[in-house]
């Protein structure tokens, strides 16, 4: 885990022995399960450390200042797949409750397994699409921090994610590539869902050979009850195109 340890150091994170062991175990289990179910195309030791583990930890660059120490701070990761970015963040910060949303049952089986294996506490795995979970009172506008990586284009993603944020909460989307175009296309959706674009943070780490960003969106108004629309619509007909 040398690559991860060094990369994390550049983020100002000093991983403990226990955390390094957890990441090591995470890697082994990910590879083992990946033989049977499709969890990731990235499998070599070094790439997983950088593109999954370190990339997930870059979220720490955008955490709200008063964040993690608040006793009521909680996190939701939408479309977490094999647990990214939620599980690496949980390894780093064991305290805040974490909800992982993932509609693919095979992936949630892995999530249950890895949580148990890594002895992570206070993690809930929700086998659901965001469009459905976001209308349940238990989850709607209940989270201080919502996260999502590689799930959808921003106009769709804000509809899937912002409904989970409390007023005063924050949504961080991890993005790659042509960000300006995506942001422009998402302006209407961000406003319609009760959000306000705070900033776009470029990740400046030599470990990545492509452009990566954290899009930080604050939740300032309640999300109207009609959002998110029924399953599939946020992707098929993103808010910007609705007359």
Binding residues for ligand SAM, per CB under 6 A? 78-82, 84, 101-104, 107, 129-131, 149-151, 160
- Cβ nearer to ligand SAM, comparing 128 with 240: 128
Distance of alpha carbon 179 from alpha carbon 213, whole angstroms: 8
Task: For ligand SAM, give the closer residue by CB, 94 or 103.
Answer: 103
In the complex, what is the shortest distance from the CB of residue 229 to ligand SAM, in angstroms, rounded to a whole number? Answer: 11
- CA 124 and chain centroid, separation: 14
Shorter beta-carbon distance to ligand SAM: residue 20 or 150: 150
CB of 66 to ligand SAM, least distance (A): 26
Shortest spacing between CB 65 and ligand SAM, in angstroms: 25
CB of 183 to ligand SAM, least distance (A): 19
Those residues with Cβ within 8 angstroms of residue 169's Cβ, 6 or more apart along the chain or in another chain: 141, 143, 144, 145, 146, 218, 219
What is d(CA 71, CA 63) in angstroms, rounded to the nearest whole number? 15
Contacts of 201 (CB under 8 A, 6+ apart): 61, 62, 213, 214, 216
Task: Say how far apart CA 184 and CA 69 lie, in whole Å.
Answer: 34
Q: Which is nearer to ligand SAM, 149 or 175 (CB)?
A: 149
Query: What minimum distance in Å lies between the beta carbon of 42 and ligand SAM?
Result: 9
Nearer to ligand SAM, 23 or 84 (CB): 84
Closest distance of CB 180 from ligand SAM, Å: 22
Q: Contact, 171 vs 195, CB < 8 A?
A: yes
Q: Name the residue with the smallest CB distance to ligand SAM.
A: 81
Placement of tokens 């399953």 in the chain: 231
3-state SS, 64-123, equals CCCCCCCCCCCEEEECCCCCCCHHHHHHHCCCCCEEEECCCHHHHHHHHHHHHHCCCCCE
Whichever of 65 and 210 has its CB closer to ligand SAM, that residue is 210
């Amino acid at each position: 885990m040398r690559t991860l340890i060094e990369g994390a150091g550049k983020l100002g994170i000093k991983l403990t022995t226990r955390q390094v062991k957890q990441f090591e175990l995470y890697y082994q289990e990910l590879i083992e399960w990946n033989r049977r179910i499709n969890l990731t195309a990235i499998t070599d030791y070094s790439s997983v450390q950088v593109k999954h583990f370190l990339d997930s930890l870059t979220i720490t660059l955008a955490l709200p200042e008063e964040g993690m120490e608040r006793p009521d701070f909680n996190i939701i990761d939408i479309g977490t797949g094999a647990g990214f970015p939620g599980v690496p963040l949980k390894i780093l910060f064991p305290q805040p409750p974490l909800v992982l949303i993932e509609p693919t049952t095979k992936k949630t089986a892995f999530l249950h397994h890895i949580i148990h294996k890594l002895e992570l506490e206070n993690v809930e795995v929700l086998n659901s699409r965001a469009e459905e979970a976001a209308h349940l009172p238990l989850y709607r506008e209940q989270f201080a921090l919502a996260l999502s990586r590689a799930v959808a284009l921003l106009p769709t993603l804000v509809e899937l994610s912002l409904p989970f944020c409390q007023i005063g909460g924050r949504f961080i989307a991890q993005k790659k590539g042509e960000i300006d175009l995506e942001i422009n296309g998402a302006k209407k959706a961000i406003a319609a869902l009760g959000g306000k674009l705070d900033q776009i943070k470029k990740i400046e780490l030599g470990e990545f050979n492509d452009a990566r960003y954290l899009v930080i969106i604050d939740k300032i108004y309640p999300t109207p009850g009609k959002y998110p629309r029924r399953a599939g619509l946020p992707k098929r007909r993103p808010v910007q195109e609705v007359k």
